[in-house]
C-alpha cells in the first residue's frame, strides 16, 4: 500500500460510506494507519459517534479527529466520510467528498438511501475505485466519475447527468421492482 | 439532490422487516455460487451479482483463506471470456482486491495485456491500473513500452491511469520509472486538468532528490500556465520547498518566487488560495509585509457559509497567531463571532486564537464567553483552551484574578484525568511565576484535593503545598486541608500528607507543637509507609535523629531534591551487596543516560537464570567502573569523573572496528579502545594502540595495557593512560595507530598458525574537548535552582555567533560545545521565532554544580547574538565556562 508524503502529493487515507447506525455500506482504506479490521471498525465507530449530532446535510462539515482531518456529509440515512492527514489542504479533501457524494447521487439516480445503495453496491464500489487509486486522487468531478462507472454498467442508456428528475424516478422504481422479484 | 420520493415515505412503516440484498449472506454459500464462473455459457448478470457479494464480504471485514482466495482467483480469471463490459469492470476490481501472488499473476497478465491494447479506452485505463498493482519489475520491463505510450495517450483517462500507476511503481522499481521522464514531461503540458496534476506529481517524485532539477522545474512552471487547481496546489508545495531549501541567499532582497505565491492568492479556486496562503504563513522568517495579503484572504474565508472553509482559515490563522500575534489581530472581530459556531472544532480554534492575540482589555469579556462554551466541548479541546489560558495569564500577569477564577471554576466541573492535570499544572505554573497569585491559587488547589479522585494529582498538590504553604502569610489555614487527607484518603495520599505536615513543622516554629500532635496520631495508621514516615519526621523535628544535627540539615533533608537520576540510584541499589559498609549515595553516577533498547532485550533472556537477581540493566557507567577498577595500573587515579560515549575510529564494515571511550579523572585520562576483529581467517595478538599526543601538549602518556589476543568477532579492550595537570581544562587532538600481530586461522580446524606477522592499521583521530569535563545533570526546577545559587558567582557576557543557518542550529551548537543538560525542554526552538532562551545545567569536573542561562536573538540576515549568564558553586568555574564559549 503506497503512502505519500505531503511534500509530494495530496493523499486520502480512507473513504467511508456508513449507514445511520454507523454500519458499513462500503469502505476503502488507503493507508497502513489501520492495520486490521478491528482498528478500522474502531475508527469508524468513533468518527460516526463523534459526528452523529452535527448537521452535515446542507454543507459538508469537518472535524479534527485523532490527528486526522475528516470531512463528512450526510444524505438521508447515508453518512459519507473522507479522511486525510492533519496537514492536508482541507479544501482538496472536501472536493473529494463532494465528488463522492454527488456521483453516488447520480448513480443512484437521486435515490440516495442505504437500501438503494446496497442494491447497487457494485456501482458504489466502482465509484470509489474511480475517485481514488492507492490514496491518490484520480478524479473529483461527479459527472465524470458517474460517467466512467456507468459506461461499465452496460445499461447503455442516457448519461446520468442528462437525465431529468422524472426519468430518474422512473428508473429508480424499475430498479426497485426488479429487486423485489429477485 | 432530488427530493425524497413520496413512494418511499410510505415504506417507512415496514422498516422493521427491512430488506437487504445481503441479508443472511454466508461466505461458504457465496463461494459455492462462484462456481457459475466456470459455466461454459456465462451469465454476465449473475456473475456480476456473485462478484458483488464476494466484494461485500471482503468489505465487511471477512477474509478468505489462502485456498479460498486461490480458488476464487482462478474462477475469476475465467470471466475474461465474457465480452460484457460491466462484468469486466467487476473482474478488475476483484483481482485488485485479491492481490494475487506472483505465480498466480502470470495467469492474468496476458488477458490484461490484451485489454491494455484494446480499442476501448475504459478497458485500457483499468487494465493498466490493475496490472501495475500486481506485477513485479521483471514483468514491468515487458510492458514498459505500452506504459510509456499510455502516458502520452490522447485519452486523459488512459494517461492518468498510467501516470498514477507510475507514482505507485516508482517505489518498487524506481530505475524503470525514471526512464519515462520525457513522456511525463510531455504530459505535464496536457490540456486535461487531472493529467497535468498526475504528471506533475510523478515528475516531481522522479526528480525529488535532485534539488537543482526541482528548482528548474518550478522556475519553468511558475512562469507558464499550470491550469488545473490540483496541479497548482502541487506547484505551490514544490515552490515553497525550493524557497525553504534555497534559504535567504538573496540577502535583504525579495524572496524568490514570492510573487508567484502572492499571485496564487488571486486564483479562482479556493483550494489554490488556501494552499498559497498557507505556504506564505509557513515561510521561514516570514515578514509582516509578506503576511498581510495572505491574512486578508483568510479573513474573507472566516465569514464563508461553508464550514470547511471557515475551519481551514481559522486553523491557519491560529498557527500564525503563535508566532505573529499582531498580524492576526485584524481578524479578531470575525474570530469572535466564530466562538458561537455550530462546529465546535472551529469554535475552539477561534477561542484559542483570540487568547493568543487578545489584549489586556479583552480578557474579561473573553472569559465570560468561554464559561458557557466550556461545558459543551470534548476534553481534548478543553486541554487546548486551558493551555492557551495559561500562556495568556503569563502574558498579562495583572489579569491573573479572572483567569485564576476561570481555572478554579473548571477545576470543579466534571472531567477526565488529563484535563484535570492540565488545569492543576497551569495553576501551579501561575503560582510559581506570579507571586500575587500564590495565596488564591493554593487555596483553589486545597479546595480541589478535598474532593479529588486522582491519587497522582492529590500527591502532586500535597508536595507542592508543602514547599509553598509554609512561606505564606498564614500557613496554619492549610493544615486542616492536609490533615483531612490523613483521615480520609488512601495510603499513598496519606503518606504524602504526612510529609507535607512535616515540612510545615520544620519551617513554621509556631505550628510545630500542633504538628507534633497530628504526626503522633499518624503513628497508629494502618499502613507501614505512613507510620514509618511519621516516626522519622517526629524524630527529625525533635532533633533526635542523626540526620538532623542542625535545623539546616533538617530542612535540607525535607526539601532538598534528589540530585541523582532515579534510574542510576535504582541500579546502584541493585548492585549493592549487603556488607559492613553502608550504601553511599555519593557513589551513584549522576550522568543521565538513555538506555539503549537492545540491552533491555538482553536482560529478558538472562532473567531465567540466577542472573535475575541482578535486576535491571546496569548502566554503562557501572560496567566501566567495574572494568577500570579491575586494572591495578589505574587504581591510583581515583574514581573516574566521567566516561564519554564511544567515539568510532573506523568506518562501518571495515576489517577491524575500533571505538574509544574517554574516561576522565581529576589528574588523568584513560582511553579505552574497544576493538572487534571482523575477519574469520585471522587471530590478532598483542594488540595495542600507539597514540601520538603531539597535538595535545598537556597530556603525557603514563601507561599502556595491550590486549593479549583478539579472536574473530569477540570484542576486546586495550587501554592507554595519560597524566594531565589537575585543575586545568586540558584539551587536544590524538592520532592513533592500531598495532598487532596477525596469525592465519585455518577455517576448517579453527586453529591459528604459530607464526604471525606484525601489522598496523591507521585509525581516525579524535579530540578531548571541554565538554568531556562536564557531566550532564538535570535539575527539576531550574528557576529555584538558579535563585538558590550565589549571585556573586554569576558571570554575564555577550557573544556574536555570526551568520548561522537558523536559531535552532545555533542553540544546539552551543549546547554541544558546553556538553550540558538542557532543562525544561528549552533545547527546542519554535519555528520562525526570533529569540530563544535556553536553560542548561551540569556538573563540572571537581563536582562543581553549574547552571547556564542562554538568551539568543537572530537578526534579519541570520546574524545570531547570544547572552550567556553562568552561576556555579565556584566563581572560577563560571569564568571557565565563558572561556569555553569564547574559544568554541
Closest residue on chain A to B48 (Cα): A122
Residues 6+ apart with CB under 8 A from B99: B133, B134
For residue range A3-36, list pLDDT tens digits in order. 444 456 899 999 999 999 999 999 999 999 999 9
Q: Is the minimum CB–CB distance between B276 and chain A shorter than 8 Å? A: no
Name every chain A residue with its beta carbon within 8 A of the beta carbon of B79: none
CATH architecture of residue range(s) A12-181: 2-Layer Sandwich (3.30)
Q: Does B593 touch chain A (CB under 8 A)?
A: no
By Cβ distance, the residue of A62, A119, A152 closest to B89 is A152
Residues of chain A found within 8 Å of residue B168, distances taken between Cβ atoms: 2, 133-134, 136
B20 contacts in A (CB within 8 Å)? 115, 118
| Spatial contact of A17 and A78, defined as CB atoms under 8 Å apart | yes
B312–A63 CB contact, under 8 Å: no
Q: What is the ipTM of this complex?
A: 0.85
Whether B607 has a pLDDT exceeding 70, the answer reads no
pLDDT of B643 higher than 80: yes
Q: Are residues B729 and B801 in the same domain?
A: no
Judged by CB atoms within 8 Å, which residues 126-165 of A form the interface with B? 126, 129, 133-134, 136-139, 148, 151-154, 165
Find the residue in B nearest to A29 (Cα): B59
Q: Is residue B512 part of a domain?
A: yes
- A7 in contact with B at a CB cutoff of 8 Å? yes
Q: Do A8 and B204 touch (CB under 8 A)?
A: yes
**Edge to edge, what strands does the sheet with A78-85 contain?**
A24-29, A14-19, A78-85, A68-75, A61-65
Instruction: Retrieve residue B708's grid coordinates.
Output: 593479549
Q: Quick: pLDDT tens for B375-409.
A: 777 777 788 888 888 888 887 888 888 888 888 88
Contact state of B2 with A6 under an 8 Å Cβ cutoff? no
Residue extents of the structural domains in chain A: 12-181
pLDDT above 50: residue B877? yes
pLDDT of A156 strictly over 50: no
Q: Chain B closest CA to A136's CA: distance in Å?
A: 7
Q: Which residues of A touch B86 (CB under 8 A)?
A: 122, 152-154
Please check whether residues B643 and B701 belong to one and the same domain. yes
CA-CA-CA-CA torsion for B85, B89, B92, B94, nearest 10 degrees?
A: -120
User: Is there a domain that residue B660 lies in?
Assistant: yes
Residue at B589 is within a domain:
no
The pLDDT-based confidence of B5 (bands split at 50, 70, 90) is: very low
pLDDT given at position A7: 54
| Residue spans of alpha helices (H) in B208-329 | 211-223, 229-246, 258-264, 270-281, 288-302, 307-323, 325-328
Does pLDDT of B546 surpass 70?
no
Residues B650 and B737 in one domain: yes
Q: Based on the fold, state whether residues B764 and B796 are members of the same structural domain.
A: no
Which positions in chain A touch B234 (Cβ < 8 Å)? 9-10
**A168 vs B885: which has the higher pLDDT:** B885
Please indicate whether, in this complex, the C-beta atoms of A92 and B86 are within 8 angstroms of each other.
no
Which bin fits B642, alpha (ψ -120 to 50), beta or left (φ > 0)?
A: beta
Same domain, B507 and B533: yes
User: Domain containing B726 — which CATH number?
Assistant: 2.60.40.1480
pLDDT given at position B488:
86
Q: How many CB atoms are closer than 10 A to CB B427?
A: 27
Of B1, B88, B237, the CB nearest to A75: B1
Neighboring chain B residues of A152 at a CB cutoff of 8 Å: 85-86, 88-89, 122
B812 falls within a domain: yes
Q: Which of B726, B749, B768 is the last residue of a domain?
A: B768
Could you tell me if B260 and B299 are in contact, meaning their C-beta atoms sit under 8 angstroms apart?
no
- B201 contacts in A (CB within 8 Å)? 8-9, 136
A-chain residue closest to B6, CA distance: A169
Residues of B in contact with A179 (CB under 8 A): 19, 21
Residues B761 and B778 placed together within one structural domain of the fold = no
DSSP one-letter code for B505: H
> What are the chain A neighbours of B83 within 8 Å (beta carbons)?
none
B709 and B684 Cβ atoms separated by less than 8 Å: yes
pLDDT band of B412, cuts 50, 70, 90: confident
Whether residues B744 and B790 share a domain: the answer is: no
What band does A169 get if pLDDT is binned at 50, 70 and 90?
A: low
A24/B164 CB distance under 8 A: no
Is there a contact between B133 and A76 if contact means CB atoms under 8 Å apart? no
Instruction: Name the average pLDDT for chain B.
Output: 83
Q: Which domain holds residue B497?
A: 452-569
Cβ contacts of B87 on chain A, cutoff 8 Å? 154
Single pTM value for the model: 0.63
CB-CB under 8 Å, A63 with B345: yes
Q: Dihedrals φ, ψ of B852, to 5°? A: -130, 140
Alpha carbon distance B887, B859 (integer Å):
23
Q: State the Cα–Cα distance between residues B632 and B626, nearest whole angstrom.
A: 12
Question: Which pLDDT belongs to residue B725?
Answer: 84
Considering the domain architecture, whether residues B696 and B785 belong to the same structural domain is answered as no
Q: Show which of B569, B598, B621 is a domain's final residue.
A: B569
Decide if pLDDT at B565 tops 60: yes
If contacts are CB pairs under 8 Å, which of residues 21-60 in chain B contact chain A?
21-22, 44, 48, 51-52, 55-56, 59-60
- pLDDT, tens digit (0-9, with 9 covering 90-100), for B441-461: 999 999 998 888 899 999 999
**Chain A residues with CB-CB distance to B160 below 8 A:** 138-139
**B719 or B361, higher pLDDT:** B719
Cα maximum dimension of chain A: 53
- Look at B60 and A24 and tell me if their CB atoms are within 8 Å: yes
Q: Distance from B308 to chain A by nearest Cα, in Å? A: 6
The pLDDT value given to residue A38: 93
Measured CA to CA, the distance from residue B306 to residue A71 in angstroms comes to 12
Instruction: Name the more confident of B298 and B411.
Output: B298
Smallest Cβ–Cβ distance between A122 and the set B52, B61, B305 belongs to B52
Contact B133, B112 (CB under 8 A): no
CB pairs under 8 A between A and B: 155
Q: Is the dihedral of CA B755, B760, B761, B767 positive or negative?
A: positive
Q: Which residues contact B191 (CB under 8 A, 6 or more apart)?
A: none
Given CB atoms, is B311 within the 8 Å cutoff of chain A?
yes
Among A133-142, B503-512, B573-582, B726-735, which range has the highest average pLDDT?
A133-142
Nearest to A154 among B18, B84, B205 (CB): B84
- Nearest chain A residue (CA) to B51: A122
Q: Which long-range contacts (CB under 8 A, 24 or more apart) does B429-435 make?
A: B429/B390, B429/B394, B430/B390, B430/B393, B430/B394, B430/B400, B430/B403, B430/B404, B431/B464, B431/B468, B432/B783, B433/B394, B433/B397, B434/B393, B434/B394, B434/B397, B434/B400
- Of B750, B768, B786, the position where a domain reaches its end is B768
Per-residue confidence (pLDDT) for residue A44, from 0 to 100: 95
Is B271 close to A89, i.e. CB distance below 8 A?
A: yes
Same domain for B764 and B777? no
Give the Cα separation of A126 and A129 in Å (integer): 5
Kindly state whether residues B776 and B872 are assigned to the same domain.
yes
Q: Which residue of B has its CA nearest to A172?
A: B5
The C-alpha angle with vertex B307 and arms to B303 and B312, in degrees rounded to 5, equals 80
The mean pLDDT of B207-218, rounded to a whole number, is 87
Q: Do residues B724 and B698 lie in contact, with contact meaning Cβ atoms separated by under 8 Å?
A: yes
What per-residue confidence (pLDDT) applies to B603?
36
Higher pLDDT, B591 or B600: B591
Indicate whether B478 and B560 sit together in one domain. yes
How many C-beta atoms surround the C-beta of residue B30 within 10 A? Answer: 19
Identify the band that residue B4 occupies on the pLDDT scale cut at 50, 70 and 90: very low
Between CA B641 and CA B793 the distance in angstroms is 23
Is the predicted pLDDT of residue A67 greater than 50, yes or no?
Answer: yes
| Nearest-by-CA chain B residue for A147 | B122
- Is there a contact between B88 and A152 if contact means CB atoms under 8 Å apart? yes
Residue B395 lies in a domain: no
Q: How many domains does chain B have?
A: 3
* Res B3: pLDDT: 46
| Same domain for B640 and B528 | no
> Is residue B827 within 8 Å of B833, Cβ to Cβ?
no
Contact residues for B218 (Cβ-Cβ < 8 A; gap 6+): B235, B238, B239, B242, B257
Residue B371 backbone dihedrals phi, psi, to 5 degrees: -60, -45
Lowest mean pLDDT among A43-47, B151-155, B353-357: B353-357
Chain A, window 69-108: residues with a beta carbon less than 8 angstroms from a chain B beta carbon: 71, 75-76, 89-92, 94-95, 105
Amino acid at each position: 500500500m503506497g503512502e505519500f508524503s505531503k511534500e509530494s502529493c495530496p493523499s486520502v487515507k480512507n473513504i467511508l460510506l456508513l449507514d445511520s447506525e454507523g454500519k458499513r455500506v462500503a469502505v476503502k482504506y488507503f493507508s497502513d494507519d489501520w492495520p486490521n479490521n478491528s482498528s478500522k471498525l474502531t475508527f469508524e465507530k468513533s468518527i460516526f459517534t463523534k459526528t452523529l449530532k452535527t448537521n452535515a446535510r446542507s454543507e459538508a462539515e469537518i472535524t479534527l479527529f485523532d490527528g486526522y482531518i475528516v470531512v463528512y456529509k450526510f444524505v438521508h440515512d447515508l453518512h459519507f466520510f473522507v479522511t486525510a492527514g492533519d496537514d492536508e489542504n482541507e479544501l482538496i479533501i472536501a472536493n473529494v467528498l463532494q465528488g463522492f457524494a454527488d456521483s453516488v447521487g447520480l448513480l443512484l439516480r437521486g435515490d440516495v438511501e442505504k437500501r438503494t445503495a446496497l442494491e447497487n453496491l457494485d456501482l458504489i464500489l466502482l465509484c470509489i475505485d474511480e475517485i481514488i487509486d492507492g490514496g491518490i486522487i484520480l478524479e473529483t468531478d461527479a459527472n465524470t466519475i458517474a460517467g466512467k462507472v456507468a459506461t461499465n454498467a452496460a445499461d447503455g442508456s442516457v448519461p446520468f447527468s442528462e437525465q431529468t428528475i422524472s426519468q430518474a424516478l422512473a428508473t429508480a422504481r424499475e430498479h426497485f421492482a426488479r429487486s423485489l422479484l429477485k | 439532490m432530488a427530493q425524497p420520493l413520496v413512494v418511499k415515505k410510505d415504506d417507512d412503516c415496514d422498516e422493521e422487516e427491512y430488506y437487504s440484498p445481503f441479508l443472511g449472506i454466508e461466505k461458504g454459500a457465496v463461494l459455492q455460487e462462484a462456481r457459475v464462473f466456470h459455466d461454459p455459457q456465462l451469465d454476465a448478470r449473475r456473475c456480476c451479482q456473485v462478484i458483488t457479494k464476494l466484494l461485500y464480504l471482503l468489505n465487511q471485514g471477512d477474509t478468505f483463506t489462502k485456498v479460498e482466495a486461490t480458488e476464487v482467483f482462478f474462477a475469476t480469471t475465467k470471466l475474461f471470456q465474457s465480452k460484457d463490459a460491466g462484468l469486466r469492470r467487476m473482474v478488475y476490481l476483484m483481482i485488485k482486491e485479491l492481490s494475487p501472488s506472483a505465480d498466480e499473476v502470470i495467469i492474468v497478465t496476458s488477458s490484461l495485456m490484451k485489454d491494455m491494447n484494446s480499442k476501448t479506452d475504459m478497458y485500457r485505463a483499468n487494465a493498466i491500473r490493475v496490472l501495475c498493482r500486481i506485477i513485479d519489475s521483471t514483468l514491468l520491463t515487458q510492458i514498459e513500452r505500452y506504459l510509456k505510450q499510455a502516458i502520452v495517450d490522447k485519452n486523459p483517462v488512459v494517461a492518468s491511469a498510467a501516470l498514477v500507476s507510475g507514482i505507485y511503481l516508482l517505489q518498487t522499481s524506481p530505475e524503470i520509472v525514471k526512464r519515462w521522464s520525457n513522456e511525463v514531461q510531455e504530459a505535464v503540458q496536457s490540456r486535461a486538468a487531472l493529467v497535468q496534476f498526475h504528471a506533475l506529481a510523478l515528475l516531481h517524485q522522479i526528480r525529488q532528490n535532485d534539488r537543482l532539477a526541482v528548482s528548474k522545474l518550478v522556475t519553468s512552471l511558475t512562469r507558464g500556465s499550470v491550469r488545473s487547481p490540483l496541479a497548482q496546489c502541487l506547484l505551490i508545495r514544490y515552490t515553497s520547498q525550493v524557497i525553504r531549501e534555497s534559504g535567504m541567499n538573496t540577502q535583504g532582497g525579495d524572496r524568490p518566487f514570492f510573487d508567484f505565491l502572492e499571485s496564487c492568492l488571486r486564483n479562482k479556486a479556493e483550494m489554490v488560495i488556501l494552499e498559497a496562503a498557507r505556504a506564505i504563513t509557513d515561510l521561514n522568517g516570514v515578514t509582516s509585509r509578506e503576511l498581510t495579503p495572505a491574512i486578508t484572504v483568510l479573513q474573507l474565508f472566516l465569514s464563508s457559509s461553508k464550514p470547511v472553509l471557515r475551519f481551514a482559515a481559522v486553523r491557519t490563522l491560529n498557527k500564525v497567531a503563535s508566532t505573529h500575534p499582531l498580524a492576526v489581530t485584524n481578524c479578531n472581530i470575525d474570530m469572535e463571532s466564530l466562538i458561537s459556531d455550530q462546529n465546535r472544532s472551529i469554535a475552539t480554534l477561534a477561542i484559542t486564537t483570540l487568547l493568543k492575540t487578545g489584549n489586556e482589555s479583552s480578557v474579561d469579556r473573553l472569559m465570560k464567553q468561554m464559561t458557557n462554551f466550556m461545558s459543551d466541548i470534548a476534553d481534548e479541546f478543553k486541554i487546548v483552551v486551558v493551555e492557551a489560558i495559561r500562556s495568556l495569564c503569563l502574558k498579562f500577569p495583572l489579569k491573573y484574578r479572572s483567569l485564576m477564577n476561570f481555572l478554579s471554576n473548571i477545576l470543579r466541573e466534571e472531567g477526565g484525568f488529563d484535563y484535570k492535570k492540565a488545569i492543576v499544572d497551569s495553576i501551579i505554573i501561575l503560582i510559581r511565576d506570579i507571586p500575587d497569585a500564590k495565596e488564591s491559587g493554593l487555596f483553589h488547589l486545597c479546595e480541589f484535593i478535598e474532593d479529588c479522585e486522582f491519587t497522582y494529582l492529590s500527591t502532586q498538590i500535597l508536595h507542592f503545598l508543602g514547599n509553598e504553604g509554609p512561606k505564606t502569610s498564614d500557613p496554619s489555614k492549610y493544615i486542616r486541608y492536609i490533615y483531612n487527607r490523613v483521615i480520609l484518603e488512601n495510603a499513598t495520599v496519606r503518606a504524602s500528607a504526612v510529609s507535607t505536615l512535616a515540612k510545615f513543622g520544620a519551617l513554621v516554629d509556631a505550628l510545630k507543637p500542633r504538628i507534633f500532635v497530628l504526626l503522633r496520631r499518624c503513628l497508629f495508621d494502618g499502613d507501614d509507609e505512613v507510620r514509618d514516615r511519621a516516626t522519622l519526621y517526629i524524630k527529625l523535628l525533635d532533633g533526635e535523629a542523626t540526620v538532623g544535627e542542625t535545623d539546616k540539615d533538617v530542612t535540607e533533608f525535607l526539601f532538598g531534591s534528589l540530585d541523582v537520576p532515579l534510574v542510576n540510584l535504582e541500579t546502584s541499589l541493585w548492585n549493592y551487596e549487603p556488607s559492613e559498609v553502608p550504601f553511599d549515595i555519593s557513589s551513584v553516577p549522576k550522568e543521565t543516560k538513555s538506555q539503549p533498547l537492545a540491552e533491555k532485550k538482553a536482560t529478558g533472556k538472562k532473567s531465567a537464570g540466577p542472573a535475575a537477581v541482578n535486576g535491571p540493566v546496569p548502566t554503562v557507567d557501572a560496567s566501566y567502573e567495574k572494568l577500570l577498577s579491575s586494572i591495578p595500573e589505574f587504581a591510583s587515579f581515583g574514581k573516574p569523573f566521567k566516561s564519554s560515549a564511544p567515539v568510532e575510529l573506523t568506518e562501518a564494515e571495515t576489517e577491524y572496528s575500533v571505538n574509544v571511550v574517554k574516561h576522565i579523572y581529576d589528574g588523568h585520562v584513560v582511553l579505552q579502545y574497544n576493538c572487534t576483529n571482523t575477519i574469520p581467517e585471522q587471530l590478532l595478538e598483542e594488540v595495542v594502540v600507539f597514540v601520538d599526543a603531539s597535538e595535545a601538549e598537556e597530556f603525557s602518556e603514563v601507561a599502556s595495557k595491550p590486549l593479549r589476543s583478539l579472536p574473530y568477532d569477540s570484542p576486546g579492550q586495550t587501554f592507554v593512560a595519560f597524566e594531565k595537570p589537575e585543575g586545568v581544562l586540558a584539551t587536544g587532538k590524538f592520532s592513533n595507530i592500531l598495532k598487532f600481530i596477525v596469525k592465519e586461522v585455518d577455517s576448517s580446524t579453527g586453529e591459528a598458525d604459530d607464526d604471525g606477522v606484525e601489522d598496523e592499521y591507521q585509525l581516525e583521530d579524535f579530540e578531548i574537548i571541554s565538554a568531556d569535563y562536564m557531566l550532564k545533570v538535570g535539575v527539576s526546577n531550574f528557576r529555584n535552582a538558579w535563585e538558590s545559587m550565589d549571585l556573586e558567582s554569576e558571570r554575564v557576557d555577550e557573544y556574536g555567533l555570526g551568520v548561522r543557518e537558523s536559531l535552532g542550529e545555533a542553540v544546539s551548537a552551543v549546547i554541544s560545545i558546553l556538553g550540558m543538560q538542557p532543562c525544561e525542554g528549552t533545547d527546542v526552538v519554535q519555528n520562525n521565532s526570533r529569540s530563544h532562551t535556553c536553560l542548561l545545567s551540569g556538573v563540572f569536573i571537581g563536582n562543581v554544580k553549574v547552571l547556564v542561562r542562554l538568551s539568543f536573538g537572530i537578526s534579519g540576515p541570520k546574524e545570531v547574538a547570544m547572552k550567556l549568564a553562568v552561576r556555579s558553586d565556584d566563581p572560577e568555574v563560571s569564568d571557565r565556562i565563558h572561556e569555553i564559549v569564547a574559544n568554541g
